[in-house]
């Protein structure tokens, strides 16, 4: 894999010189802020994230469901979805939320982020806490996204969803949870830093778990993510792990990998050879003794 990536980089450099393109090392670029959807500190808090891409065999399926197994009392739940549409006037803030026994709940986003690309990229988020009280099958229906790609086998650039659930169990250590969302458009060849310290509570915390969610990643492009300069996994993390052009990746940090917010907390994403659209981050931390 590493040899293949090096080959691709060399090819890009060769054709860039042949076409008279000047390649400039810009260093790390400061990413725009993620917005804070939820932040709470208390005993026994934890989060889980689940969802998937709706893109299958070049088309977009109408609905998607996942099994939710709750381990504690639900404190907060956010549904986040993302797609690309042809015009700004296209409806993007509405979606059907599916709850157990196939009940349909018509939702309107509480927050929405929009940016221009080849079309209109968007991310929407809705508070669905009141609908999630028990384990069962949950999902979405009618995610707004249009086929705007005509130069590849894929028609859709992004069409995915994620459910972020915060739970609380009794008699557990004190934890802090943050759920962040926005729409980031990351260019290949640049490296982006996101300051997460400002979203953390005061004090010194160990990050024990972090989830990264976003779109447009595909395997073989070598994209990587780091926390305070340390790789969360290695190369090729943004690889469509949750379906075509959609990643929901949770990283559990062991005692040797713990990051501290004492001197800052910086998430670095290196797209390397591809465009990436990160849409959400979830963080679980515990206070240092």
| For the chain, domain boundaries | 24-287
At 27-66, the pLDDT tens digits run 566 656 899 999 999 999 999 999 999 999 989 999 999 9
Q: What is the dihedral of CA 277, 273, 5, 244, to 10 degrees?
A: 40
pTM: 0.88
Residue-wise pLDDT for 107-162, tens only, equals 999 999 999 988 999 999 999 999 999 999 999 999 999 999 876 678 999 999 99
50, 66 contact by CB (below 8 A) = yes
Distance CA 8, CA 59 (A): 28
Nearby residues of 6 by Cβ (< 8 Å), 6 or more positions away? none
Token representation of residue 273: 């050879």
Q: Report, as an integer, the average pLDDT of 264-283.
A: 95
The β-bridge relationship of strands 28-30 and 191-195 is: parallel
pLDDT for residue 6 is more than 70: no
pLDDT tens digits, one per residue of 190-230: 999 999 988 988 888 889 999 999 999 988 888 999 999 88
Give CA–CA dist 194/267, Å, rounded.
5
């Amino acid at each position: 894999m590493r040899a293949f990536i090096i080959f691709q980089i060399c090819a890009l450099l060769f054709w860039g010189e042949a076409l008279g393109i000047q390649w400039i090392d810009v260093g790390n670029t400061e990413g725009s802020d993620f917005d804070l959807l939820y932040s709470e500190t208390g005993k026994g808090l934890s989060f889980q994230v689940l969802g998937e891409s709706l893109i299958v065999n070049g088309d977009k399926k109408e609905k998607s469901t996942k099994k939710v197994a709750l381990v504690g009392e639900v404190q907060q739940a956010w549904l986040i979805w993302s797609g690309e549409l042809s015009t700004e006037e296209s409806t993007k803030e509405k979606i059907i939320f599916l709850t157990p026994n196939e009940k349909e709940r018509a939702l309107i986003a509480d927050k929405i982020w929009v940016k221009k690309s080849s079309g209109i990229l968007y991310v929407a988020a809705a508070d669905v806490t009141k609908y999630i009280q028990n384990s069962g099958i949950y999902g979405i229906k009618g995610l707004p996204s249009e086929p705007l790609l005509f130069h590849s086998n894929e028609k859709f650039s992004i069409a995915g969803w994620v459910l972020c659930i915060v739970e609380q169990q009794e008699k557990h250590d004190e934890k802090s949870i943050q759920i962040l969302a926005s729409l980031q458009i990351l260019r290949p060849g640049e490296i982006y830093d996101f300051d997460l310290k400002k979203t953390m509570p005061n004090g010194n915390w160990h990050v024990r778990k972090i989830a990264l969610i976003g779109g447009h990643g595909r395997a073989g492009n070598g994209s990587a993510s780091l926390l305070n300069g340390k790789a969360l996994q290695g190369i090729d993390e943004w690889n469509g792990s949750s379906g075509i052009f959609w990643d929901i990746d949770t990283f559990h940090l062991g005692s040797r990998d713990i990051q501290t917010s004492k001197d800052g907390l910086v998430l670095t994403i290196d797209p390397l050879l591809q465009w990436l659209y990160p849409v959400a981050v979830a963080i679980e931390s515990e206070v240092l003794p």
